[in-house]
Structure 1
Amino acid sequence: MTRSKLLRGLTVAGTIALSAVATTPAAHAAASSCTHDWSGPQVCIKADGHDGTPNPGTVTASWTNPPKSRNSATVYITNSEGTSYSFKAKRSGGQIVGHTVPGLQPSGSTLCVRFEGSSHKACLEMINRNGSF
């Protein structure tokens, strides 16, 4: 192989590698937490946040073992500052699941989720490092 063909091959490979890095989406942080009362309702919270900002992105609440008669439930999300949000979650498979985007949260705050009809709640703390999870 000649030197020019080798250099051309390396240049093409380098260009492909750089374009892959340039098109990679920004990093997102993800965190989740569930209740640990195995005899009662299993409630979970998951956040797919934006790393380095106090925006938790999409928050998913799930009730993994609701009564068979429940097809939906109101979800209550509260943060440690006292702000609360509510939305409707619907049965999907064997669980009740809902999603919301609560917006910016104070750095160091905690988000908790509880379902109507259940006293169990799952909480997720935001890390103080730039407000990300």
Structure 2
Amino acid sequence: MKMIRGAVTASALALAVVAALAQGGPAAATEAAPARVDRSSCTHHWSGPQICIRMTGDALRTRVVGFWSNPPGSVRSRTTWLASDGRRITSVARATRVGKTVSFTWSGADYRGRKICVRFRGINRTACQDAPV
């Protein structure tokens, strides 16, 4: 049974290569899809605000979620933004409470090779994550 599965898989791969060659030539057959992204990090302080960043998607369209994981119950929203090399790279946004966190999601963008950091107004802690190359 294993041999049949292997033969079927090899046949399917061969057909995919032939189809790619027929549609776009050798470049289409060897062109790889952008790398998948699923990375996260948080500030690691035992007291005070804990800020986190999560990156998902692929290298060309990386979605970034910035969140404050332990805001006081009275905080319903907070201004946030993304930074790289100490400079803001997005417009300020309004992070809102979702359950126990205050968060905002930036839609997919190309951050390849950059260190992306999330900042929240009034909080001196920053969570950063290296984007894929």
TM-score by length of structure 1 reads: 0.68
Once residues 69 and 89 of structure 1 are traced to their aligned partners in structure 2, the CA distance between those partners, rounded to angstroms, is 14
Offset from partner CA, 1:61-116 (integer Å, 9 cap, x none): 110111211101111110127342121111011111110126222x4321000112
Instruction: Please name the residue that 2:47 is paired with.
Output: 39
Instruction: Please name the residue that 1:59 is paired with.
Output: 64
1:67 counterpart letter in structure 2: P
Once residues 34 and 116 of structure 2 are traced to their aligned partners in structure 1, the CA distance between those partners, rounded to angstroms, is 23
Once residues 29 and 57 of structure 1 are traced to their aligned partners in structure 2, the CA distance between those partners, rounded to angstroms, is 7
Instruction: Please name the residue that 1:116 is paired with.
Output: 121
Instruction: Please name the residue that 1:14 is paired with.
Output: 8
Structure 1 consecutive aligned stretches of length 4 or more whose deviation exceeds 4 Å: none
Once residues 46 and 86 of structure 2 are traced to their aligned partners in structure 1, the CA distance between those partners, rounded to angstroms, is 29
How far has the Cα of 1:29 moved from its partner? 1.6
Instruction: Please name the residue that 1:87 is paired with.
Output: 93
Query: Unaligned stretches of 5+ in structure 1?
Result: 1-5
Seen in structure 2, the aligned counterparts of structure 1 residues 63 and 83 have a Cα distance that, compared at 3 Å, is closer
Tell me how large the CA RMSD over aligned residues is. 2.9
- The answer to whether the 8 Å contact 2:70/2:100 transfers is yes
Seen in structure 2, the aligned counterparts of structure 1 residues 83 and 115 have a Cα distance that, compared at 3 Å, is closer
TM-score by length of structure 2 reads: 0.68
Query: Unaligned stretches of 5+ in structure 2?
Result: 17-32
Q: Give aligned pairs, total.
A: 110
